[in-house]
Amino acid sequence: MTIPEFRASEHLHGVKYEIRGELARRADALERDGYEIIKLNIGNPGAFGFRMPETMRVAMVQNLHQADPYSHQKGIFQAREAVVMQQQTRGVLDVTADDVFIGNGVSELIMFTMRALLNPGDEVLVPSPDYPLWTASVVIHGATAVHYACPPERGFVPDPEEVKKLVTPRTRAIVVINPNNPTGAVYPRDVLAGLARIAEDHQLLMCADEIYDEMLYDGAQYVPMATLAKRTLCATFSGLSKIYRACGLRVGWVSFSGEKSRATEYLRALELLASLRLCSNVPGQFAVQTALGGTQSIYELTKPGGRLYETRRAILEACDKSKYMTVNAPKGAMYAFIRVDDKKIPGFDDQEFALRLLERERVLIAPGSSFNVPYRNHFRITLLPDARQMADVFGRIERVLAEYAEEAPQLRARQSLGGAA
């Protein structure tokens, strides 16, 4: 008798998350063999010595005696009210504690918002490049992610007129990631206003992923989408993982503003999903009020002399000196999206390069094609190592690219023979 295999659900067909895919599994295997891997594939501050503010630790410890029971399905009141107050200081005045959901990180809340919204055949406008969880959260629910271009030649900033042409009767939402992961772009106000008008004109759910809101460089200005998208429902996502370097707490939130009167059924569906998982991590929720209301230590890291700023400077200098790499200077977030000159290295493939870099130089990066782009000559790295280590990393990357360049004439010859055949 043939024993059938356990097969994966068809809902997962087309769902990808290469940031923790085959390359990451190979890196884990190398670590088990005793090799030290520099992991630049994921924004994980604690792995590079960053720590959450001490006041957040104190807040959790002092309230630990209250953390045994489940909390309200939307989260503890103090945390939700802290999000409300932050939104009010930014000019978003129509959010109440009842409009805020605390989740096990923003990732869970992205899944919830899409699950409550989408039916098979629906469409969501998602940026390209994107943070791939957004595309996955659409596809896993039987809908279609329609990618709008944020091309390198425009500094990875979209054109609202092009985005508007992609709207169909099946479109349900538009996703905006600002400051952007993976590119570090920070969108100008007029671009955000144009995207907001599209959502308003077509009554789309505006999903504003703003978890890097305060992580800015060289005077870049972050504009909250909720201050612009007022005539439709706007969902603003943020959390403790990045600005507050507390990924392991798994505390994120989504707040709803704008046209809530026509979203009663949808918001109740979200509460149902939150109730089914009972509540999110309770101890970490006690850190939210202290985090949002206290000194914003992120500013010390992103100003000249700060660790993130100086690592960013090291990346810009390395790309300026490189024979093969260029980069649009990130204006926000904790990533750089590096371009490899595929004229100097014809046939360059980001996945193949990432594997070779891992095997030869023990550096793990995220290939650009992991972020739902049609080109294969980019890769993403984090800004988390210190400047000295990052300079060393770029020396390793340059060595591997030089190997590729030496192989390029042979590759051209093989391509020429293939064409002649």
Helices 22-32 and 350-361: angle between axes, nearest 10 degrees: 10
317: how many CB neighbours lie within 10 A of its CB?
A: 14
- pLDDT band for 244, please (50, 70, 90 cuts): very high
Sheet with 233-239, strands from edge to edge, namely 100-103, 252-258, 233-239, 205-209, 171-177, 123-128, 144-149
Domains of the chain in start order, with CATH, are: 10-50+300-420 (3.90.1150.10), 54-293 (3.40.640.10)
More confident: 10 or 169: 169
Residue closest to 260 by CA, chosen among 249, 268, 248: 268
Task: Tell me the HSE value of 417 on the side-chain side, using a 13 A CA sphere.
Answer: 5
Question: Looking at residue 241, what DSSP letter applies?
Answer: S
Q: How far is CA 327 from the centre of its chain?
A: 18
* pLDDT of res. 286: 97
Looking at residues 398-412, what average pLDDT do you find? 83
**Global pTM value:** 0.94
Residues 6+ apart with CB under 8 A from 290: 53, 55, 56, 58, 59
Mean pLDDT of 394-400: 97
Q: Are 206 and 239 in contact (CB under 8 A)?
A: no
For residues 83 and 105, what is the distance between their CA atoms, to the nearest angstrom?
14
Backbone angles phi, psi at 306, to 5 degrees: -75, 155
Amino acid at 158: P
Rounded to whole angstroms, the Cα distance separating 325 from 397 reads: 10
Mean pLDDT of 182-207: 98
- 166 half-sphere exposure, CB direction, 13 A CA radius: 23
pLDDT of residue 421: 43
Closest CA to 97 of 70, 71, 75: 75
Whether residue 45 has a cis bond before it, omega within 30° of 0: no
Q: Token match 């500094």: residue?
A: 155
* Residues 270-300 pLDDT 10s: 999 999 999 999 999 999 999 999 899 999 9
The three-state secondary structure class of 123 is strand
pLDDT reported for residue 19: 83
- CA 15 – CA 18 distance, rounded (Å): 10
Query: With contact defined as beta carbons under 8 Å apart, do 311 and 384 qualify?
Result: yes
Structure-token match 């060595």, residue found? 399
Cα separation, 395 vs 389, whole angstroms: 10
Give me the percent of the chain exceeding a pLDDT of 90.
90
How confident is the model at residue 136, as a pLDDT? 96
Hey, what are 406's tokens?
A: 């030496």
- Band (pLDDT 50/70/90 cuts) for residue 379 is very high
Instruction: Lowest mean pLDDT of 1-5, 105-109, 227-231, 412-416, name the range.
Output: 412-416
